[in-house]
Amino acid sequence: MINPSYSGTSDTFTIALLREGTNVIYDVKSGIAGVSITAGQVSSITLTQVDTDALQSRSKKMDYILTFQLKNGLTNTSVIALVFPPSFVIDTTASALNYIRYGLEDIAEDNTVGLSVDSSNTLRLTNFLAFDVPQEISLYLRLTNPDNVGETTPINIISYLDTLQTVTVDSDTVTAYTIIESIRKEQGIILKY
């Protein structure tokens, strides 16, 4: 038996005890409760700043590279959602540089991968070419750092079976975070010559 590649509870089971090589049934048990299938684990997750010399300070706009690898394949109607905490804001201004570096392919030249950000600070990737074997996915993101010092609340990475986003395929809610330093963006260093 092979589990499905998405989360949920299976239907009820019927088990029949048969004699090998015959149609003789010794016993049948019906109505066995279904089992819960959990989401696959997202792996190889990194969130790194583009400018490694820059200080990751509070409330500062910074460019990051987020990479991850899903466990299961997806269809062209699937959705990958990156749910950012309210304090770690995705830049959606005209100067924003948010794009897919690699890992997802357009369905066709005139049917490109969708990348959208909604008011709940969630970035959604949609309309990509289906894949059976997941590859590493990498995104370039411009984010405004939280105003608090220390480890950020993690970014939730979730893939869904379809656009209804009711059936989870893969998920990670603990790995994609960074550490913010104690200096605020308004505090600068003044050098006198």
pLDDT for position 29: 87
pLDDT digit string, tens, across residues 92-133: 987 778 999 999 999 999 999 999 999 999 999 999 999 999
- Average pLDDT for residues 77-97, to the nearest whole number? 91
For residue 168, give every residue at least 6 positions away whose Cβ sits within 8 Å of its Cβ, in sequence order, or none. 6, 7, 39, 158, 159, 160, 161
Q: Is the pLDDT of residue 4 over 90?
A: no
Mean pLDDT over all residues of the chain? 87
pLDDT for position 155: 94
DSSP string, 65-114: EEEEE-SS-B-TT-EEEEE--TTSEEP-STT---EEEES--BSBTTBPPE
Q: What is the rounded distance in angstroms from the CA atom of residue 22 to the CA atom of residue 40?
A: 39
Of residues 39 and 87, more confidence is placed in 87
Q: What is the rounded distance in angstroms from the CA atom of residue 76 to the CA atom of residue 78?
A: 6
The number of beta carbons lying within 10 Å of the beta carbon of residue 187 is 9
pLDDT digit string, tens, across residues 31-57: 887 766 667 889 999 999 999 999 899
pLDDT for position 6: 63
Pairing of strands 13-18, 25-32: antiparallel
- Phi and psi at 134, nearest 5°, equal -65, 140
Q: Burial, 100: exposed, middle or buried (Cβ in 10 Å; 0-12, 13-18, 19+)?
A: middle
pLDDT for position 70: 95
pTM of the model: 0.79
Domains along the sequence of the chain with CATH: 8-37 (no CATH), 40-180 (2.60.40)
Of residues 148 and 187, more confidence is placed in 148
